[in-house]
Amino acid sequence: MPDAAGLLRRLRERLGEPAVLTGDGLQAFEMDWRGRWAGRALAVVQPRSTAEVADAVRLCAHAGVSLVPQGGNTGTVGGSVPDDSGAQVVLSLRAMNRIRAVEPAGLTLTAEAGCTLAQVQQAAADHDLLYPLRLASEGQCTIGGNLATNAGGTQVLRYGNTRELCLALEGVTPAGDVFGSLSGLRKDNTGYDLRDLYIGSEGTLGVITAATLRLFPRPVAGATAWVACAGLAQAVALLHRLRRRFDAALTAFEVINATALAIVARHEPACAAPLPHAAPWAVLLELGSSDAQAPLREALAEELHAAQQADTVLDACIAQHAAQAAALWRTREAIPTAQARDGLNVKHDIAVPTHEIPALVGALSAALAQRWPGARLVLFGHLGDGNLHFNVAAPPGMPAGEFLSAHEAAINTVVFDEVAQRGGSIAAEHGIGRLRRDALARYKDATALALMRSLKRALDPQGLMNPGCLLPD
């Protein structure tokens, strides 16, 4: 058995008493924000530098004690909380929250893993630049967590996932060795790309401590619109039309169904949808350009009028100023909070080729209605990159927790089987965590899964980095 008392003593000697938390008061680190996953930690360690991360990892490795790296703890799949053994150390990176450098000429920013996404966005904006990752949890989620899960968000259509926004990583291996360069080179063809290996690894291969991120010129012209559509096929047609007209200037294309908007109206009435009449689907779209003279609003109005004439659009409104655009985005960003207030639901973060989404939703709607009459489908997501948040809520009058515990496994099978048949992914941007481990074993290619296990054994031979997360047994 590991010498827990000895480990805690050595951690305090190396990192200082305040950096090692034990006893009461750890609940914020032991439970995920949805309240679905709760564990019990031996301690929470809060290093303030990469050297201290390395010290903590080395001491835990020597003691044979497993580590759970944690950022803002905003994940939805249970990948950042300890198990219930009381024997794991949570390695919180929140105290590592410095912006180390901003290089406007090279369009790069170097941040420590504990910086919040909002902090990085602001540091870029202070130099009249843009860090384009945009998430509803941006005030709390951290860059390290974004990288560990390869977070997506609402602007993947134009800028890509977090992987595409990262030029270089610094990290600590499971043995406690520091690796990586933060030079931010666009070209470095000197062997295996460890950066890409660690991005999306969910803390199972080591600890990300800092990153050099890609910045962009700040858009100075833009247009934001809320559009009502009769169905997803019409939304896909609108996406195709706008891509042809605007190409890379189309930065976001979100879809939201009427059920999701009804939940927002019920729990976040200040964020209600802007159009007066309900439609089966809404599209929230955004254009952006660094050309101040680009007539995006006028051009968008022309396209939406033509789309309405072609029966692709039912109605639309275009924001006339920044405050109106922000209000439209608040409606979209209120969905997760409104869902949480509405009660637990069966969550899915799926992706299929964009043209398959209308047929996927149609097939699943019919299958789920037949087996679970009255269950509500709360659907929204990033149509532009084929990612849909497909959530199944309890029928009215049925306790949400009871519905979840009784039917989650069966609903998952229905949804994931349909997604797999259409060449899709069961985890588009939230990761696998603990929630999707068993499903990964069923839906991941066997050879790919074997290679992933080989990498895990090679880099973490003791199996101490976030065990129970991502890889199925």
In a domain, 450, yes or no: no
Whether 270 shows a pLDDT value over 80: the answer reads yes
- Domain end among 336, 355, 371: 336
Query: Residue 182 carries which side chain, given as an amino acid letter?
Result: L
State both tokens at 315. 């109605």
pLDDT value, residue 272: 82
In a shared domain, residues 329 and 230: yes
Two tokens at 46? 């809060």
Average pLDDT (54-70) is 97
> 279 and 294, same structural domain?
yes
The CATH number of the domain holding residue 358 is: 3.30.70.2740
Q: Report if residue 87 sits inside a domain.
A: yes
Residue length of the chain: 473
pLDDT tens profile 240-269: 999 999 999 999 999 999 999 999 999 999
Same domain, 329 and 280: yes
Instruction: List, as one string, the DSSP characters of 15-74.
Output: H-GGGEE-SSS-HHHHB-TTS--B--EEEEE--SSHHHHHHHHHHHHHHT--EEEESS--
Residue-wise pLDDT tens digits, 71-114: 999 998 999 999 999 999 999 999 999 999 999 999 999 999 99
Q: What are phi and psi of 196, to 5 degrees?
A: -65, -30
CATH number at residue 145: 3.30.465.10
Cβ–Cβ < 8 Å for 30, 39 = yes
Q: Which of 436, 422, 295, 414 is nearest to 366 (CA)?
A: 414
107 and 212 belong to one structural domain: yes
At residue 249, the pLDDT reads 95
Residue 216 confidence (pLDDT): 97
Q: Where among 62, 92, 122 does a domain terminate? A: 92
Mean pLDDT calculated for residue range 189-199: 90
- Assess if residue 151 is contained within a domain: yes
pLDDT on residue 187? 87
Q: How far apart are CA 94 and CA 116, in angstroms?
A: 9
446 in a structural domain: no
Clarify whether residues 200 and 164 are in a common domain. yes
Is residue 314 classed as helix, strand or coil in its secondary structure?
Answer: coil
Reduce the DSSP state of residue 236 to 3 states and report it: helix
Which CATH number fits the domain that encloses residue 11?
Answer: 3.30.43.10
* Residue 126 domain flag: yes
| E strand residue ranges, 219-272 | 221-229, 250-257
- Among residues 92, 119, 134, the one where a domain terminates is 92
- Whether residue 1 is predicted with pLDDT greater than 70 in this model: the reply is no
User: Do 163 and 85 share a structural domain?
Assistant: no
Number of domains the chain contains: 4
Q: State which residues form the domain around 170.
A: 99-217
Tell me if 274 sits within 8 A of 317, measured CB to CB: yes
In a domain, 444, yes or no: no
Confidence label for 136 from pLDDT (cuts 50, 70 and 90):
confident
What pLDDT is recorded for position 340? 87
Could you tell me if residue 463 is inside a domain?
no
Pair 325, 387 in one domain:
no
DSSP notation for 164-200: HHEEEEEEE-TTS-EE------S---SS--HHHHHTT
Are residue 71 and residue 117 in the same domain, yes or no?
Answer: no
Q: How does pLDDT run across 285-344, given as a tens digit for each residue?
A: 999 998 888 899 999 999 999 999 999 999 999 999 999 999 999 999 999 889 989 988
Does residue 251 share a domain with residue 205? no
Q: Does residue 447 form part of some domain? A: no
pLDDT surpassing 60 at residue 281: yes
- Are 79 and 124 within one domain? no
**Residues 147, 41 share a domain:** no
Distance CA 79, CA 431 (A): 8
Query: Do residues 126 and 72 both lie within one domain?
Result: no
Q: How far apart are CA 450 and CA 226, in angstroms?
A: 45
CATH of the domain at 321: 3.30.70.2190
Angle, to 10 degrees, between the axis of helix 335-342 and the axis of helix 258-267?
70
pTM comes to 0.92
382-435 residue pLDDT tens: 999 999 999 999 999 899 889 999 999 999 999 999 999 999 999 999 999 999
